[in-house]
Amino acid sequence: MDMKPSDSKKIIRSEITECLVQIFQSEMSGIIRYLHYSFMIMGHNRIPIQKWFRSQAQESMSHATLIGEKITSLGEHPPLATTRIEETNLHSVDQILQESLDFEQATLSLYKKLAHLAGEDIALEEMAREFVRQETEHVDEVQKMLRTH
């Protein structure tokens, strides 16, 4: 059975929408995750680290807003759910940063997937590439924060 070109476009659009939904849920969980982390930082370096986590929460909200708008522009409905957020109850700065790194790498992977799926939609590809750049910078920054030398 041969697929018509319109059928393959529908499949690609469905894959794009599913990827956007996954990104949206990830970014929504980022808001909660980073706000929680900001509360759990203790010690003499609390203020700058707390501020950094709160700015990460704000950025997740900004990303979720843009992705939610894209989902609705495709005629779909952003979900009222986030990705699962595991509470490890381990709140040392190193542990929280490692959890942040894992989260950033997973989200980066989703944005790379979106850039790949964009195909001829140059605007979507450029949006995804900009998010890839930002998320790559976050991964690099957290890796530097975790280094001890």
Residue 136 has what pLDDT? 97
The residue range of the domain holding 41 is 8-77+89-146
Q: Looking at residue 5, what is its pLDDT?
A: 59
Domain CATH number, residue 14: 1.20.1260.10
Separation of alpha carbons 133 and 128, rounded Å: 9
Question: In this predicted model, what pLDDT tens digit does every residue of 45-62 receive, in sequence order?
Answer: 999 999 999 999 999 999
Can you give the length of the chain in residues?
149
Confidence (pLDDT) at 10? 78
> Which sign does the torsion angle of CA 40, 41, 47, 52 carry?
negative
pLDDT value of position 7: 66
Residue 68 lies in a domain: yes
User: What spatial distance separates the first Cα and last Cα of the chain, rounded to whole Å?
Assistant: 60
Nearest-angstrom CA–CA distance, 98 and 15 = 30
| 72 domain residue, yes or no | yes
Number of domains the chain is built from = 1
Low-confidence ranges of the chain (pLDDT < 70): 1-8
Which residues have a Cβ under 8 Å from the Cβ of 73 and sit 6 or more positions away? Answer: none
